[in-house]
Amino acid sequence: MNCMRPREYLKKVGILESIKGRLVLYFILLLVVPFLFIGYIAYNSEKAALQDRIKGHLTSIADIQKGRIRTWLYERVTDVSIIAGNGHIIQDIETLEKMGDPHRYVNDPRYLRILDQLNSVKKSHNYLDIFILDEDGRITATTVNKELGEYRLDTEYYKESIKAGLAGQYIQGVYYDTHYGKLAMAFVAPMHSYPNLRDYGGAAVLVVGMDESFTPIIEDRPGMGSTGDTLIGKREGGYVVYLNRLKYRPDSPLTFKFPLSKAPTPILNATGDIEGMVEAKDYRGVKVLAATRYIPETGWGLVVKEDYDEIFAPVESLGRKVLYITGFALLMVFILIYMVSSRIADPIVELSALTRRVTGGDFGVNLPVKRKDEVGVLAGSFNDMATALMKYKAEVDEKGAEIGQANRELMSLARNLEAKVAERTAELEESRNRLRESLEVLERANVELRRMDRIKDNFLGMMSHELRTPLSLITGYSSNLLADRGFHLDARVEEAVEGIYKGSQRLKVIVNEMLDVSQIDARGLRLVFTPTNMLLLIEDVLKELGSFIRERGQTVVMGEFMDMPEVALDKKRMRQVVNNIIGNAVKFTPDGGRIEITARLYLAGDEYARAHGAAVGEYMEVVVKDSGIGIDKEEADRIFEKFYEVGDIEKHTTSKYRFLGRGVGLGLPIARGIVEAHGGRLWVESSGYDPARCPGSAFHVMLPIFKTAGDRGTVDRFGESVESPK
């Protein structure tokens, strides 16, 4: 391991590449996932429970506070109403008022009696003042002596209550009272002079300092935590105005306000008579849980709230604790598992180091079998293996020596072989040179041969052409001599002339054939296409050959003959082809034999037609099948060569009759030349030559179907299809 380069080593200990790393990782995953899962569930359920508890708590505080505020309001209303409803006071003050300026009756016992009453109420609840205001807004009796006779015409409570002629009690919410320089509330109760039911017209007014009376109630926040806060507010001219001192804004009363559209949700709900519980941001923008209540008597909203963070602090600390414990557990597990996995993995690593030594060829290794577990078993088997390997190595060394010897022998053999190969190569080289020389000689001979062939062809063409004129003279004169009885020929002479005539006739046939061949060879065969009915053409030829056929006692059968269309053909040339083929069939079939002629049509792309070299388009095939001597397989193609005749023609003549039509072996080459000039194919099929059993042969003519001469296309196409017969 220490022979490794550092980078390789790092790769080797990469977490997933070592057993140790993998073990540690799996264990941690196995432990941490459930731990975190449980922690998460506990955290959430704890949080929900806590939230429920706090909600209940805030709700009950809000209900209690609402009740206390309303009770407080009732008490004040009651206090002022008691004064206002006191018949003696009304009677006395009416009498005193008649004296004009109040300062005149300050010492009047009736006034002192009234003052007594007022003072006792004031003292009992630490009010700022309690006084009587007459119809004109003048103070006619007061606990604050210096105010006597003053007017309170500008106050809201005068304008909204006494001046407005209000029958019931009136509460002026929180306001800044300039006379006492304090935040205050005023409670007004109109005075009725019962029992004679005559209205006095004035009213009793009670002024309460907020700090003195109300604040202790509102600031009493039992069990609400450090962020718990109670606040009251009121909607006023499109604003929400806070009325009490807020925990985080002591200057708030009457000065701290929000437009309705921007007001925090808790106070907005409370002043809007929406009672309940909200989770929202408060005036500081801090998230709080708040209970909202509405005080109908004053149109106030009451909010009892606590900061979210504080509420959930215990849960958060629980979450943190879970995390710490998890972290600690992880560390412990890591150490533990690292130790355990070391115990598992180290022997394996040790084993692998020793294995490497064995790989290096040191089979003498013997592992200490310290343990009885799987690793111990492994070490044991490893030792067995090392021993076995040592044995094999000895055997291999021995065999190696043998192989070395054999190898040396082989080497010397190979050297001999090499020498022999070199020798043979030289010989081969020599014979190849000789071969090349002979090839060159052959090639020269071939060129010469081809030249000679051309000369022969030319000669053939020229000669046949030159022979025609004298030949027609000979035929003409001899036929004249025979026809004109006026010559009175001697019988012997007449026989000779007849010989001349017949000979010249035969010669004419041969010369014409030679001319045809030379035209075909020079690709100079001119065809004149006319629409032709093949069946009629064949019947015509049969009629012509009728006498021979009858003479031989042969039967001609028109076999399967489909309704053949008219085809554009050179009628004269095609007749020559048919004549030759049927003529040959008659010739090479014994007397009494049978000749069958059939025809078929092949549609474009037909398999059979294509196999016989027919290109695209429709084809017509005419087959002339005889029961004659047949043709040897090897001869089947050669009979289409010029001047080729199979064996001795005399021997083929199986009949006692001799034939005039016996040619020089040009008939088939010409026929093939003509058929190919039509774009067709001509071939023969026979199972072999056998004059005794007469297997027969079948000549096939396959022609493309062109309905009119125009359909044949250009002369090029025609020229292309003309090939000299092979």
Residue in the block written with tokens 């996932």: 33
Q: Which stretch binds ligand ADP (CB under 6 A): 194-202, 216-224, 556-564, 579-587?
A: 579-587
Pick the closer one to ligand ADP by CB: 367 or 639: 639
649 binds ligand ADP (CB under 6 A): yes
Pick the closer one to ligand ADP by CB: 102 or 667: 667
Residue from 128, 191, 379, 585 in contact with ligand ADP (CB under 6 A): 585
668 binds ligand ADP (CB under 6 A): yes
516 binds ligand ADP (CB under 6 A): no
520 binds ligand ADP (CB under 6 A): no
CA separation, residue 669 to residues 84, 88, 204, 517, 676 (Å): 158, 168, 156, 7, 11
**Spatial CA neighbour of 713 closest among 609, 620, 622, 616:** 616
Q: What is the C-alpha to C-alpha distance for residues 266 and 303, in angstroms, rounded to an integer?
A: 6
> How far does Cα 171 stand from its chain's mean position?
78
As a dihedral over the C-alpha atoms of residue 338, residue 343, residue 344, residue 348, rounded to 10 degrees, the angle is: 120
Q: Which stretch binds ligand ADP (CB under 6 A): 190-198, 252-260, 459-467, 661-669?
A: 661-669
Query: Which is it for strands 198-209 and 300-307: parallel, antiparallel or unpaired?
Result: unpaired
- Closest approach of ligand ADP to the CB of residue 581, in Å: 7
Q: What is the C-alpha to C-alpha distance for residues 200 and 511, in angstroms, rounded to an integer?
A: 172
Which two tokens mark 664?
A: 């020089």
- Closest approach of ligand ADP to the CB of residue 589, in Å: 7
665 binds ligand ADP (CB under 6 A): yes
Pick the closer one to ligand ADP by CB: 148 or 702: 702
Per-residue x/- track, 394-433, ligand ADP (CB under 6 A): ----------------------------------------
- Closest approach of ligand ADP to the CB of residue 667, in Å: 3
Q: Which stretch binds ligand ADP (CB under 6 A): 148-156, 545-553, 594-602, 666-674?
A: 666-674
- Closest approach of ligand ADP to the CB of residue 497, in Å: 27
- Which ranges constitute the DSSP H helices of 561-677? 571-587, 607-611, 649-652, 667-677
Residue from 301, 347, 667, 680 in contact with ligand ADP (CB under 6 A): 667
Pick the closer one to ligand ADP by CB: 234 or 625: 625
Which two tokens mark 558?
A: 């028109």
Residue in the block written with tokens 């592992």: 367
Residue from 628, 680, 704, 725 in contact with ligand ADP (CB under 6 A): 628
Q: Which residue is nearest to ligand ADP (CB)?
A: 663
645 binds ligand ADP (CB under 6 A): yes
Pick the closer one to ligand ADP by CB: 232 or 631: 631
545 binds ligand ADP (CB under 6 A): no
Q: What is the C-alpha to C-alpha distance for residues 682 and 701, in angstroms, rounded to an integer?
A: 5
Residue 184 and residue 210 in contact, taking contact as beta carbons nearer than 8 Å: yes
Q: Which of residues 588-617 bind ligand ADP (CB under 6 A)?
A: 588
Tell me 3's DSSP state: T
Pick the closer one to ligand ADP by CB: 148 or 629: 629
Residue from 584, 627, 654, 655 in contact with ligand ADP (CB under 6 A): 584
256: Cβ–Cβ under 8 A, 6 or more apart, which residues?
241, 242, 246, 249, 283
576 binds ligand ADP (CB under 6 A): no
Q: What is the C-alpha to C-alpha distance for residues 601 and 77, in angstroms, rounded to an integer?
A: 131
| Three-class SS of 661-726 | CCCCCCHHHHHHHHHHHCCCEEEEEECCCCCCCCCCEEEEEEEECCCCCHHHCCHHHHHHHCCCCC
Q: What is the C-alpha to C-alpha distance for residues 707 and 721, in angstroms, rounded to an integer?
A: 18
Q: Which stretch binds ligand ADP (CB under 6 A): 380-388, 531-539, 578-586, 710-718?
A: 578-586
Q: Which stretch binds ligand ADP (CB under 6 A): 22-30, 273-281, 476-484, 577-585?
A: 577-585
- Closest approach of ligand ADP to the CB of residue 507, in Å: 14
554 binds ligand ADP (CB under 6 A): no
Pick the closer one to ligand ADP by CB: 289 or 577: 577
- Closest approach of ligand ADP to the CB of residue 446, in Å: 26
**281 sits in which H/E element:** strand 276-281
639 binds ligand ADP (CB under 6 A): yes
- Closest approach of ligand ADP to the CB of residue 464, in Å: 16
Q: Which stretch binds ligand ADP (CB under 6 A): 353-361, 571-579, 599-607, 662-670?
A: 662-670
Residue from 697, 703, 706, 722 in contact with ligand ADP (CB under 6 A): 697
As a dihedral over the C-alpha atoms of residue 313, residue 319, residue 321, residue 324, rounded to 10 degrees, the angle is: -140
CA separation, residue 105 to residues 113, 150, 191, 649 (Å): 12, 15, 20, 187
628: Cβ–Cβ under 8 A, 6 or more apart, which residues?
585, 588, 589, 590, 593, 694, 696, 697
Please count the CA atoms within 13 angstroms of the CA of 214 that sit on its side-chain side: 25
Q: Which of residues 379-398 bind ligand ADP (CB under 6 A)?
A: none
Pick the closer one to ligand ADP by CB: 133 or 666: 666
Residue in the block written with tokens 């343990």: 371
646 binds ligand ADP (CB under 6 A): yes
- Closest approach of ligand ADP to the CB of residue 657, in Å: 15
Pick the closer one to ligand ADP by CB: 213 or 697: 697
How many residues at the interface with ligand ADP, by CB under 6 A? 19
Q: What is the C-alpha to C-alpha distance for residues 592 and 586, in angstroms, rounded to an integer?
A: 10
E strands, 360-515, in order: none
Q: Which chain residues interact with ligand ADP by CB under 6 A?
A: 580, 584-585, 588, 626, 628-629, 631, 639, 645-646, 649, 663-668, 697
